[in-house]
Amino acid sequence: MSTMLNFENVELYYDHVYALKGVSISLAQGETVALIGANGAGKSSILRAITGLAPLRSGQIHFMGERLDGKPADAIVKLGIAMVPEGRRVFPFMSVKDNLLMGAFTRTDKADIARTLESILQRFPRLRERYSQQAGTLSGGEQQMMVIGRALMAKPRLLLLDEPSLGIAPKLVQDIARAIVAISRDEQVSVLLVEQNSRMALSISNRTYALATGKVVLSGNSKDLMGDDRIKAAYLGGDL
């Protein structure tokens, strides 16, 4: 697998407080990579750096061989990177249909947009059932499915997911986890997953980086890390 994303020795500060200190991660085409760690560890800052929402103090980010840092956020979206933000951020008074179509704003081929929309409704049948409802009337899990679908409407090559299980009922967390695996497999979309639910993140990813106070403290194959005593103690609450 060829490298899609290279995040090289990145330092990022908010005011005078560092959020990332010399962080390097990579992601290959077709991979799902998880970022785990406590609140404030720097996970979401990595996503903000990739999407151009937070300027770097130093370091570089490359996507498909092209340098990302310094590019405006809209240019980064057009390169094929879509983000599902923490907290879902739906348009509550718009229908599910219109929320989904907002994700296709960079596309012009109406027939292809319609095919993508149909594939998303097949993947998330609940969205078809609620297609004309206002998005604000959906449950948290249904809204999360919708914003993942909205991101997929852009036909991204890289999907960034920020805490997709946060505030979601346990059964729907399982549904969303299965959907992430299927999206990566069926759509050939690479996934960078930020997740506090470390058990879920490790179970659906190929590789994982564990962060603490703005640094990568452990990384490796997710299956191997699932059995690592340090990961068990720090992130999984003891024995599996």
Q: What residues pair up with 161 in beta bridges, in sequence order?
A: 84, 193
Question: How far apart are the C-alpha atoms of 125 and 209, rounded to whole Å?
Answer: 33
Report pTM: 0.92
Domain assignment present for residue 240? The answer is no
**Total number of domains in the chain:** 1
Q: Which is nearest to 86 in space by CA: 23, 30, 148?
A: 148
Domain assignment present for residue 145? The answer is no
CATH code of the domain in which 208 resides: 3.40.50.300
Return the axis-axis angle of helices 110-123 and 140-152, rounded to nearest 10°. Answer: 150
**What's the pLDDT tens digit per position in 35-70?**
999 888 999 999 999 999 998 999 999 999 999 998
Q: Which is nearest to 197 in space by CA: 213, 182, 180?
A: 180
Domain assignment present for residue 34? The answer is yes
Domain assignment present for residue 160? The answer is yes
- Tell me the two tokens of residue 26: 């990579």
In the structure, what pLDDT confidence band is assigned to residue 189 with cuts at 50, 70 and 90?
Answer: very high
Residue listed under structure tokens 């998303």: 120
**10 pLDDT more than 90:** yes
Helix, strand, or coil here: 59?
strand
**What's the pLDDT tens digit per position in 146-177?**
999 999 999 999 999 999 998 888 888 888 99
Question: How far apart are the C-alpha atoms of 12 and 19, rounded to whole Å?
Answer: 6
User: Residue 72's domain spans which residues?
Assistant: 3-88+156-235
- Tell me the two tokens of residue 68: 């990302």
Indicate the pairing of strand 3-14 with strand 58-63: antiparallel
Domain assignment present for residue 55? The answer is yes
Domain assignment present for residue 111? The answer is no
Domain assignment present for residue 81? The answer is yes
In the structure, what pLDDT confidence band is assigned to residue 238 with cuts at 50, 70 and 90?
Answer: very low
Question: How far apart are the C-alpha atoms of 237 and 240, rounded to whole Å?
Answer: 8
Question: What local confidence, expressed as pLDDT, does residue 237 receive?
Answer: 60
